[in-house]
Amino acid sequence: MSYKDYELNVGMEVHAELLTESKMFCGCSAHFGGPPNSDVCPVCLGLPGSLPVPNRRAIEFVARTAMALNCEISSPSIFQRKNYFYPDIPKGYQISQYGDDPIGKNGYLDFEVEGEMKRVRIRRVHLEEDTGKNMHNPAGYSEVDYNRSGVPLMEIVTEFPPDIHTPEEARGYVMALRAVLVTLGVCDGRMEEGSLRCEPNISVRRKGSERYGNKVELKNLNSFRAVYRGCEYEWKRQAALYDANPDAVIPQETRRWDDERGETYIMRTKEVEQEYRYFPEPDMVPMVFTGEWLEEQRKQLPELPEARRQRMIREYEITPDDAALLVGDIPLANWYEEAAKQTGQPVEVANWVKGDFLRLLSDARIEATAAKVTPDHLSGMLKLVEAGTINRKIAKTVFEEMFNTGQSPEEVVKAKGLTQIADENALSTMIDEVIAANPKERERFLAGEEKLKQFFVGQVMKASRGKANAALVNQLLDEKLK
Ligand SMILES: [Zn+2]
């Protein structure tokens, strides 16, 4: 049987580090990258007698995310202690929001995948704290860095039974969710740096079967592509196990994705659910949200990605795919919208953005906000094309040069001598030379091989190093080839 004869079921847990200045329950800096244990205090080190004070901004961020994901807001919403013992949890417990009253619950996210709208239901959006980081020294002992201990972490969990049934949907969900978080300004969305981590739990069952298989949790998916490939790999792997033995029991386990080898491998088996002995956090009162406060949060919601995508299709008449590509990359979408407005040529700008601009950004590994080329530059360049100063081919060179140097299009054209040759005398001489150098082709052209005209156009373009005005070349060739 093909693996596609089995149903794939994917539940998704996403952890997002919140963009707050300080940690969740103390005033330590939440910024990344300080020397080990430089951003710590008695609270985030779990010293006896210290008391947590919740971060108001983090609660606002989670409430706004919950609203953007169409959730109900629980009020009161409470913190709980999740008890477990690892060195990276100095208190012996993590403060989390287990139970029926996370800040947000029963929501959904709509997004487009493969040209169709898809809805994935969200079970909960809640707040917790990050743990420290264990570092295993090759000399045979471990050290712990508590800088991340207590950094606010938002967890977003999809509903069961799962709505995600293909790798495309899994990737589409993570892309859409990331776009929401970045648009809200609550998370920087950097999957490769771990500030957005997604852990799908994946099971496979024969189509029509009533029981779900055991869930396999995947770790270390740090790109959209890895989400896709990891889900696809597990679909095939688990289907093959059932193919070999229809009564197989897939072990419930945690597996790690190896991006280079394109495989998952086992990290640990989960034979029994760990007993966390949750109980309400006695050091904090339940959070009660007033109508006024909720209204205030709702007012802070910006235009969300799906609404923006639909507006862009309407307003700029670009394709749904182009619009989806843009809203998936907020700095790029902002750049695009500014350029579209300045030039009044939204479709033309979309072509430049998804082609040359995106390629250059990806080669340079930067975001649109860090690019030296501005919407103003593109606007000026398109004017030069319209005025006939440069042709389209040269425009590509100009764009790349603007990208690399931040020079204006006029400066680039001048510095590199790229002005289009539209001088009839100059072109005329060039064409005479080309015709004289290719007498056989001319004879064949005169004998009726009309497509050879393109050969001459090409030769003239080559002789002019791409700078000849194409319309004029065509016109002059028509006269001279006779
Ligand atoms: Zn602290």
* Distance separating alpha carbons of residues 112 and 108, to the nearest angstrom: 13
Whether residue 162 lies inside any domain: the answer is yes
Distance 65 CA to ligand 1 centre (A): 25
Do 161 and 123 belong to one domain? Answer: yes
Do 215 and 141 belong to one domain? Answer: yes
Domain boundary among 249, 268, 295: 295
Distance 196 CA to ligand 1 centre (A): 22
Q: Which of the pair, 472 or 351, is modelled with greater confidence?
A: 351
pLDDT for 273 equals: 64
Least confident of 57-66, 434-443, 466-475: 466-475
- The number of residues in the chain equals 482
Do 93 and 191 belong to one domain? Answer: yes
The CATH number of residue 432's host domain is: 1.10.10
Peptide bond into 439 cis (omega under 30): no
Instruction: Give per-residue pLDDT as tens, 27-82.
Output: 999 998 889 999 999 999 999 999 999 999 999 999 999 999 999 999 999 999 99
Q: Are 404 and 389 in contact (CB under 8 A)?
A: no
Distance 219 CA to ligand 1 centre (A): 28
Name the one residue in this structure whose structure tokens are 């998704």.
12
Dihedral through CA 121, CA 305, CA 171, CA 134, nearest 10? Answer: -90
* Distance separating alpha carbons of residues 1 and 203, to the nearest angstrom: 17
**DSSP states along 410-445:** HHHHHHHT---B--HHHHHHHHHHHHHH-HHHHHHH
Whether residue 196 lies inside any domain: the answer is yes
Q: Is the dihedral of CA 441, 446, 452, 457 positive or negative?
A: positive
465 — phi, psi (to 5°)?
50, 45
Distance 42 CA to ligand 1 centre (A): 6
pLDDT for 64 equals: 98
pTM score, whole prediction:
0.83
What is the per-residue burial (b if ≥16 Cβ within 10 Å, else e) of 285-306? eebebeeeeeeebeeeeeebbb
Short-list 448, 426, 429, CA closest to 437: 429
Instruction: Give per-residue pLDDT as tens, 329-344.
Output: 889 999 999 999 999 9
Do 221 and 109 belong to one domain? Answer: yes
pLDDT for 99 equals: 84
Domain boundary among 239, 274, 295: 295
Distance 279 CA to ligand 1 centre (A): 23
Do 192 and 290 belong to one domain? Answer: yes
Distance 90 CA to ligand 1 centre (A): 12
Token pair belonging to 391: 């042709």
Distance 97 CA to ligand 1 centre (A): 20
Do 285 and 313 belong to one domain? Answer: no
Whether residue 88 lies inside any domain: the answer is yes
pLDDT for 190 equals: 92
pLDDT for 392 equals: 84
Distance 45 CA to ligand 1 centre (A): 7
Q: Which domain range does residue 452 map to? A: 424-480
Distance 51 CA to ligand 1 centre (A): 11
Domain boundary among 295, 313, 342: 295
Whether residue 300 lies inside any domain: the answer is no
Whether residue 341 lies inside any domain: the answer is yes
Distance 288 CA to ligand 1 centre (A): 25
Distance 88 CA to ligand 1 centre (A): 14
Do 331 and 285 belong to one domain? Answer: no
pLDDT for 464 equals: 80
Q: How far is CA 400 from CA 372, 377, 395, 475, in A?
A: 11, 11, 9, 30
Average pLDDT of the chain to the nearest whole number = 92
Distance 43 CA to ligand 1 centre (A): 5
Do 206 and 291 belong to one domain? Answer: yes
Instruction: Give per-residue pLDDT as tens, 194-228.
Output: 899 999 999 999 888 888 889 999 998 999 999 99
pLDDT for 294 equals: 97
Q: Which of the pair, 428 or 143, is modelled with greater confidence?
A: 143
Distance 30 CA to ligand 1 centre (A): 9
* Distance separating alpha carbons of residues 180 and 164, to the nearest angstrom: 18
Q: Count structural domains, the chain.
A: 3
Do 471 and 403 belong to one domain? Answer: no
| Burial of residue 107 (number of CB atoms within 10 Å: 0-12, 13-18, 19+) | buried
Whether residue 112 lies inside any domain: the answer is yes
Instruction: Give per-residue pLDDT as tens, 82-106.
Output: 998 888 999 999 999 988 899 999 9
* Distance separating alpha carbons of residues 213 and 453, to the nearest angstrom: 66
Distance 24 CA to ligand 1 centre (A): 9
Is it the case that residue 272 has pLDDT exceeding 70? Answer: no
Peptide bond into 346 cis (omega under 30): no
Instruction: Give per-residue pLDDT as tens, 248-264.
Output: 899 999 999 999 999 99
Distance 38 CA to ligand 1 centre (A): 10
Do 226 and 315 belong to one domain? Answer: no
Distance 80 CA to ligand 1 centre (A): 19
**DSSP states along 273-302:** ------EE-TTSPPB---HHHHHHHHHT--
Do 167 and 291 belong to one domain? Answer: yes
Q: Are 68 and 122 in contact (CB under 8 A)?
A: no
Whether residue 44 lies inside any domain: the answer is yes
pLDDT for 468 equals: 80
Contacts of 337 (CB under 8 A, 6+ apart): 312
| 227: helix, strand or coil | helix
Distance 132 CA to ligand 1 centre (A): 12
Do 221 and 181 belong to one domain? Answer: yes
Distance 20 CA to ligand 1 centre (A): 14
Whether residue 63 lies inside any domain: the answer is yes
Is it the case that residue 457 has pLDDT exceeding 90? Answer: no
Distance 79 CA to ligand 1 centre (A): 18
Distance 98 CA to ligand 1 centre (A): 23
